[in-house]
Structure 1
Amino acid sequence: MAGVAPPLLGLKAGCLVALALVPLLCGILPAAILLRRRLQASPSAGAGIRGLLSCAAGGVFLAACLLDIVPDSLEDLRLQTPRLSPDFPLPELILALGFLLVLVVEHVLLDCSEGGPGPDAASEPLLSDPESDVPLSSSSPFRALVLTLSLCLHSTFEGLALGLQESAARLLRLAGAVLLHKAAMALSLSLLLLAQSRLPLRWALVALTAFALASPLGLGLGLVLTLQDPSSPSPESGVRSVLQGVAAGTFLYITFLEVLPQELHSPSMAPGRLPRVLALLLGFSAMAALRLLG
């Protein structure tokens, strides 16, 4: 058990619990509110509020993509991966491969599915209007899976960095930043999956739970590494960097080809185009402020 002082071990245990419970509550509470409104109101009631909240969530994902996930992964890749040539952009290539991986797999699944949807199914968004009649056999579940997995992978690496901290002060600062970030992301993920997604409620809750537990899992792994071998090398290895880059590429795909087009070009456009844009800017600004403070 050498390598981690008892007070620091207790702090890490507390951070682990907080990182599991707070994002989970932030994801489940919107689900309960949305379900209650659906039971008490007509299908068209509250469409404007749902539209604004969904656009704000889209802004959060845009900020997370451009200000958090992609910059961190590119920096990681530049530090940890060998250069093929002095001028070859290998980190950007890995990012693009993650983007293309989702695109290719999605369209292969659509093309190979027996009795699959029609030729326009690939353009059907993951987070479509809940009042529209779209077949359940479209690619939406696959996109939901990709979104959740990319977020979980990124959150696991965040937790891993926390688990390897040896300073209580730095641990608390990083844990606070990660907690705020994950709470905002859990809220946005819940809104995107439940306000407009065609996923069954149980699968949306599974996705939210997996996202909430990703950071505690990474923190636990980092803690195990420090307990077993205090002199173990940093996890920022080439394999970790490549996985982070691929995850960032998948997040780029979901953000720019799925979330933003759907929020800005919804069939109903309630409560109007300009309020939706303003809500998206508000969500983006909130995440940018968190990034600046953290």
Structure 2
Amino acid sequence: MEYLLQVKIGALVGLLLLTLLFGFIPARVKWFRNTNGTETHRTVLSLISCFAGGVFLAACLLDIIPDYLSDVRDVLDAQKVETSFPLPEFIMAAGFFLVLIVERIVLNFREMRGSREERSPLMADNRNGHGHGHSHGAADLESSGHHVHVDFQAHSPFRSFMLFLSLSLHSVFEGLAIGLQSTDSKVLEICIAILVHKSIIVFSLSVKLVQSEVRPLWVAAYIGVFAVMSPLGIGIGISVVEAQLASGALIQAVLEGLAAGTFVYITFLEILPHELNSPGKQLLKVLFILLGFSVMAGLTFVG
């Protein structure tokens, strides 16, 4: 086996193990899963979440979108496609609206189901001696003018899944960049950058999954699949190099654009609003968002 291939396989194994390690810290440590802790505990968890929000914001603006725009323009130039229409941005917008439409359909279904469930059990519960409690709840519902008291804007399993999906797709492309390299020094350079970058990303993703109250088994599954994505990309890149294939660049660029649009939606409509709209420690939250952004920006600047 030639040395370059050995380096790529070493990068594959290293990425897999380190991602699993950092991903399972929030998932397995009980402190992160404790939702009934002290005020200090909740504040620290909120600040960690803000730091993660800054990390995702930087990943969105400084990594995923620039990578996608660069790749798609290279593909369009190679295909000799010239148009005044902003096609790369349109593909990204399609990813944004895809998540928006799917989420609204899911939430609309939950609202309809919640309304049906709310109408049916009230009389049955009254007969079981819980009339006072439910009557009070019904009065609250009437006075509020709403039928379903669910904070759909909080961390939701659906949005966490979309975050996981967009990050996983991006990880495949990161791994692909390693697998397609022709020199061992470039492989090591890119691999070290991705190792640091992905360790912070997977830790932040795990925190978000835990806060969304995703079941522990599913959190483990998400982290496991996410950890496999970069090695999968490396494997695909190695296969392309070995087989000397050049097709599929346009499909890759389109998928990158959809993933980027998904990530824009999750970052700006889920992660940041949830923390900034919750009361308390506003300036401290902004500081930790800036801190998370600065860490990722520094890593990007270093290379």
TM-score range, shorter chain: 0.7 to 0.9
Match of 1:19 among 10, 15, 32: 15
User: Which residue of the other structure, out of 286, 290, 296, is the alignment partner of 1:277?
Assistant: 286
Alpha-carbon offset, residue 48 of structure 1? 1.3
Seen in structure 2, the aligned counterparts of structure 1 residues 253 and 60 have a Cα distance that, compared at 3 Å, is same
1:261 maps to which of 242, 250, 273? 273
- Percent same amino acid at aligned positions? 46
CA contact (8 A) 2:19 2:227 kept: yes
Whether the aligned pair in 1 keeps the contact of 2:27 and 2:219 (CA below 8 Å) is no
> What corresponds to 2:199 in structure 1?
183
Of residues 158, 180, 200, the one that matches 1:164 is 180
In the superposition, the TM-score normalised over structure 1's length comes to 0.84
Structure 1 counterpart of 2:225: 210
Of 255, 258, 264, the residue aligned with 1:246 is: 258
Q: Against the structure 1 CA distance between its residues 290 and 83, is the aligned structure 2 distance closer, same or farther, given a 3 Å change threshold? A: same
Displacement, 1:40? 11
Q: Does the residue aligned with 1:232 lie in a helix, a strand or coil?
A: coil
Q: 1:234 to 1:159 in 2, by over 3 A?
A: farther
Say which SS state the counterpart of residue 198 (structure 1) adopts: coil
> Which moves more between the two structures, 143-152 or 105-114?
105-114
CA distance in 2, matches of 1:18, 1:277: 34
Q: Where do 1:25-104 residues align within 5 Å? A: 25-33=21-29, 35-36=30-31, 42=37, 44=39, 46-81=41-76, 86-104=83-101
Deviation at 1:21, TM superposition (A): 0.7
After TM superposition, the structure 1 stretch with the greater mean CA deviation from structure 2, 202-211 or 110-119, is 110-119
> Offset of 1:121 from its aligned partner?
7.5
1:289 maps to which residue?
298
Match for 1:97: what amino acid? Answer: A
Report the CA distance between 1:253 and its aligned residue. 0.2
Segment of structure 1 superposing worse, 54-63 or 36-45:
36-45
Q: CA deviation at 1:36?
A: 4.2
| Alignment partner of 1:110 is 2:94 | no
Long gaps (5+) in structure 2? 116-145
Larger Rg: 2
Cα deviation 1:60-95 (Å, max 9, x = unaligned): 000000000011111222222368864211111011
Q: Which residue of 2 aligns with 1:137?
A: none
CA shift digits 1:237-293 (9 cap, x unpaired): 1111000000000000000000000111124x3xx1111110110000000001111
1:123, CA displacement in angstroms? 6.2
Tell me the TM-score normalized by structure 2: 0.82
Report deviation, 1:32. 2.7
The residue that corresponds to 1:219 in the other structure is 234
Q: CA RMSD in A?
A: 2.4
Distance 1:115 1:198 in 2: 21
Report the number of matched residues: 270
| Residues 154-192 of structure 1: per-residue CA shift (max 9 Å, x gap) | 000110111111100111001111111111101111122
Instruction: Give the counterpart of 2:245 among 232, 246, 263.
Output: 232
1:124 aligns with 2:155: no
Deviation at 1:31, TM superposition (A): 2.5
User: In the TM superposition, what is the alpha-carbon distance from 1:201 to its structure 2 partner?
Assistant: 1.7
Alignment CA distance shift 1:23-1:255 (3 Å): same
| Structure 1 CA distance for aligned equivalents of residues 170 and 177 of structure 2 | 11
